[in-house]
Amino acid sequence: MMSVAAWLTGAGAALAAGAAGVWWTRFARLLPAERALARAAALAERRGAFALALLRTRRAAPTPAALAEAAQAAADAFLERFAGVDLFAWTRRGPLGGTATGDGELLLRTGRLEAMEGGGLAVPEEWWDAAFAAGAAVVWTPDAAGLRRTVLRPWGARGRVWGLLGAASGLGEEDFTIVHSGALDELAAHLDACAERAAQLWELEKARAELAAGLDGAMRRLDETNVQLIRRAKEVRTFQEVTDAITKNPEHAGVLAAIVSIIASALEADLCAFLLLDEATGELVTQPGAFGLSHDEGALYRLALANDQSSSVRVFKTGEPFITADAQNDPLVIARYARLWGCHSLVVVPLTLEGRRIGVLRVGSFKKSFFTADHVQFVSILAEEAAVLVESAMLSRKLADSNRRLAEMHRIKDDFVSTVSHEFKTPLTSILGFLAVILEGEAGPLEPEQRRFLSIVRGSAQRLSELVSDILDLSKLEEGVEIESKPFDLAAAARKVVDDSRWRADEKGIELAVEAPEALPRALGSERWLSQVLENLLSNALKFSRSGGKVSVILAHKGEGLQATVADAGIGIPEADQPRIFEKFFRASNRDATGASGTGLGLAICRHIVDRHNGRIWFESSSGAGTRFHFVVPTSRAVTPAPEAAS
Ligand SMILES: Nc1ncnc2c1ncn2[C@@H]1O[C@H](COP(=O)(O)OP(=O)(O)OP(=O)(O)O)[C@@H](O)[C@H]1O
Ligand SMILES: [Mg+2]
């Protein structure tokens, strides 16, 4: 029999043995597992909190500073959760977003590393190599506290490594190799994201800078173009004004004055003058009308071409423009003239026409250093354009001068001719008068021979008298003698003229007739002058007809005018001579065919008279086939309606 005590003991022992098993299980097996679980939970919580913190830092503003701050904040968040770890990040590209390359620089560092010198923190090359090769690496380094373990992870963006991220801890620290390396990956991914945004930012910045540079260039070019455009517009306007001035004012002095004043105002200059070569004296002469110079001084200012002291002479000889900032103190300028006109700044450019130098253009200012190279260019272009105008102005002045002289000579000649003719008239009248008396035998009987000679004398005196009358008539008409105008019977006037000429027609055996309708309106004009037209035309028709022909004076009412025609069957007017037939003193090439004399004034007088009646005179003729001269003058009805017509 087992004793109670023994059972108790046995039971007790059994119980004791059972309790010990529970304790063993609890302490030896469960507790470590529970602890590991708790640690894992805590780590998971830290990882979660870290991930959350990273998420928050992702919202960094897109600036390099904010991105660097975000990277730092992420590192801080890491360290907060994983104490005892030293963290560093290297970059080989300078700060985020930068472009520098080199040995690399430290982007962030923490813990014990913060106290270390930069050099001590240099990442050895083999670390870079190891990390790049494997994508991540664990390296061991000896440390004061034993061996030190560093986890390395490259980071970057756009497929390129920008740097290394490292987390280091001593051996005694928590084993973060397994757990923390995940967190380190997350941190690296965060740096990657920052790098990516920095890269975008950097590219954006680069594009902006390029755009700005391009824009700057474009603006600069636009500015330059603008300046050129404004200058060109000013030049064009100046040229326009110069040309206008010339069209409006063809007088030489007026043109030059207009040009210089336009140039002066375009350049805001105080003085402007053309100095043109006087070929007769070999001097450069300031032209009248110079801007800012008094006329007297300007007219007196002459420079001998031998005077090389003068800037104008040198410019004239070399064709090179000259500019000075202060003419009064420049040894290259004759200071006397500069002082005379108070001129400081001075530009002188050559005036060249088709390779021939005709003078210079001087532009001055009372201010010092007023003109620039731009001004010189502008004045040179102006001078180039102006040279043609200056030359043509000079030519037109010469032309006007010689025209004036010619007109004066004409006037003197006309005066002379009319005076002489006038002086001829009285003696001729008395010669003809006395000849008539002698020929009629009132001074005693004449021998036939004497009569013949005296008849010849009378014929010549007659011709001389007609010539004198023609000259006097023409000069009266040219001077615009008043022509009285009243209605008269043109047919009656024609009959009278014909009757007066009949003896000449009879002499040549020419039949002479007047053909006029019964009811012909009266002509309006001067009977005396229009009779002279008829007389001249009839005289020609008789002179230039051969014996035995026929000459008719035909009158007709044509529209509002009366037309008179003098027709002959004579020698005609050669076609080549027809255009000049009304010119003074012109006589056709066949004029001698009938042995007729004349001076060529008759038709010129006719045209003057008809013109003064507002009429028209013309002819039809061909060599050898006769001539028909026509003229038309107004009828009195055309001007004053007859009383019956008016009522
Ligand atoms: N009817 C005509 N037939 C042929 N030639 C004519 C006729 N009328 C004029 N002419 C030509 O025209 C020229 C000019 O005529 P115009 O009457 O002006 O001068 P003229 O008769 O020679 O001299 P003037 O009339 O001064 O005595 C004449 O010389 C002649 O050659
Ligand atoms: Mg005549």
Query: Of all atoms in ligand 1, which is nearest to the CA of residue 596?
Result: 22
Which pLDDT band holds residue 618 (cuts at 50, 70, 90)? very high
Residue closest via CA to ligand 1's atom 15 equals 600
pLDDT given at position 638: 52
Range with the largest mean pLDDT of 124-138, 213-227, 454-468: 454-468
Which pLDDT band holds residue 419 (cuts at 50, 70, 90)? confident
The CA 529 to ligand 1 mean position distance, Å, reads 18
Task: Look at 52 and 514; give whichever has higher pLDDT.
Answer: 514
Which pLDDT band holds residue 643 (cuts at 50, 70, 90)? very low
Check pLDDT > 70 for residue 237: yes
Residue closest via CA to ligand 1's atom 13 equals 587
pLDDT given at position 509: 95
pLDDT given at position 18: 65
User: Can you read off the two tokens belonging to residue 86?
Assistant: 């030293």
The CA 573 to ligand 1 mean position distance, Å, reads 9
pLDDT given at position 646: 38
Burial of 252 (0-12, 13-18, 19+ CB in 10 A): buried
pLDDT given at position 538: 97
So what CATH class is 244-393? alpha beta
pLDDT given at position 178: 44
Summarize pLDDT for 345-395 with one digit per residue, the tens.
999 999 998 888 999 999 999 999 999 988 898 888 888 877 877 777 777
The CA 465 to ligand 1 mean position distance, Å, reads 18
Q: Compute the average pLDDT of residues 454-472.
A: 91
Least confident interval from 73-77, 133-137, 344-348, 557-561: 133-137
Q: Cα separation of 165 and 153, whole Å?
A: 5
Residue closest via CA to ligand 1's atom 17 equals 602
Q: Which long-range contacts (CB under 8 A, 24 or more apart) does 53-56 make?
A: 53/77, 53/80, 53/81, 54/186, 54/187, 54/190
pLDDT given at position 17: 61
pLDDT given at position 382: 81
Q: Which residues pair with 138 in a beta bridge?
A: 151
Check pLDDT > 80 for residue 268: yes
The CA 435 to ligand 1 mean position distance, Å, reads 28
Residue closest via CA to ligand 1's atom 9 equals 540
The CA 586 to ligand 2 mean position distance, Å, reads 10
Summarize pLDDT for 559-597 with one digit per residue, the tens.
889 999 999 999 999 999 999 999 999 999 998 888 888
% residues pLDDT > 90 (the chain): 36
Q: Compute the average pLDDT of residues 511-533.
A: 94
CA distances from 378 to 178, 343, 366, 370 (A): 83, 20, 19, 14
Task: Look at 10 and 547; give whichever has higher pLDDT.
Answer: 547
Check pLDDT > 80 for residue 270: yes
Average pLDDT, the chain: 81
- To test the pocket of ligand 1, the residue of 587, 589, 622, 629 to mutate (highest count of ligand atoms within 8 Å of its CB) is 587
Contact between residue 194 and residue 59 where contact means Cβ atoms under 8 Å apart: no
Which pLDDT band holds residue 99 (cuts at 50, 70, 90)? very low
Evaluate whether 58-209 and 482-644 have a shared fold: no
pLDDT given at position 425: 87
Check pLDDT > 70 for residue 148: no
pLDDT given at position 508: 93
Task: Look at 335 and 610; give whichever has higher pLDDT.
Answer: 610
Check pLDDT > 80 for residue 291: yes
Give ligand 1 pocket residues (Cβ under 6 A).
470, 536, 540-541, 544, 568, 570-573, 581, 586-588, 591, 598-604, 627
The CA 587 to ligand 1 mean position distance, Å, reads 6
Proximal ligand: closest to the CA of 606: 1
Which pLDDT band holds residue 547 (cuts at 50, 70, 90)? very high
Query: Of all atoms in ligand 1, which is nearest to the CA of residue 600?
Result: 19
Which pLDDT band holds residue 451 (cuts at 50, 70, 90)? very high
Residue closest via CA to ligand 1's atom 4 equals 572
CA distances from 163 to 34, 102, 130, 153, 575 (A): 40, 12, 13, 9, 111
Range with the largest mean pLDDT of 128-142, 192-206, 275-289: 275-289
Token pair 């108790």 is found at 8
End-to-end alpha-carbon separation of the chain, Å? 193
Q: Nearest CA to 454 among 468, 434, 427, 469? A: 434
Check pLDDT > 60 for residue 171: no
User: Can you read off the two tokens belonging to residue 536?
Assistant: 């001249």
pLDDT given at position 640: 44
Q: Compute the average pLDDT of residues 144-160.
A: 70
The CA 400 to ligand 1 mean position distance, Å, reads 35
* Degrees, nearest 5: CA angle 25-28-32: 115
Query: Of all atoms in ligand 1, which is nearest to the CA of residue 604?
Result: 18
Summarize pLDDT for 306-329 with one digit per residue, the tens.
999 899 999 999 999 999 999 999
Least confident interval from 219-233, 446-460, 519-533: 219-233
Query: Of all atoms in ligand 1, which is nearest to the CA of residue 541?
Result: 1
Burial of 195 (0-12, 13-18, 19+ CB in 10 A): buried
Q: Cα separation of 19 and 364, whole Å?
A: 126
Q: Compute the average pLDDT of residues 438-467.
A: 92
Q: Compute the average pLDDT of residues 107-131.
A: 64
Q: Compute the average pLDDT of residues 496-505.
A: 94
Q: Compute the average pLDDT of residues 150-169.
A: 74
The CA 602 to ligand 2 mean position distance, Å, reads 4
The CA 539 to ligand 2 mean position distance, Å, reads 6
- To test the pocket of ligand 1, the residue of 504, 540, 605 to mutate (highest count of ligand atoms within 8 Å of its CB) is 540
Q: Cα separation of 17 and 26, whole Å?
A: 14
Residue-range domain boundaries for the chain:
58-209, 244-393, 482-644
Domain 58-209, classified CATH 3.30.450.40, yes or no: yes
CATH code for residues 482-644: 3.30.565.10
Task: Look at 175 and 413; give whichever has higher pLDDT.
Answer: 413
Check pLDDT > 80 for residue 11: no
Contact between residue 334 and residue 309 where contact means Cβ atoms under 8 Å apart: yes
Give the pTM: 0.48
Task: Look at 495 and 148; give whichever has higher pLDDT.
Answer: 495
Summarize pLDDT for 184-234 with one digit per residue, the tens.
777 778 777 777 777 777 788 788 888 888 888 888 888 887 777 777 777
Contact between residue 598 and residue 544 where contact means Cβ atoms under 8 Å apart: no
Q: Compute the average pLDDT of residues 487-505.
A: 95
Burial of 105 (0-12, 13-18, 19+ CB in 10 A): middle
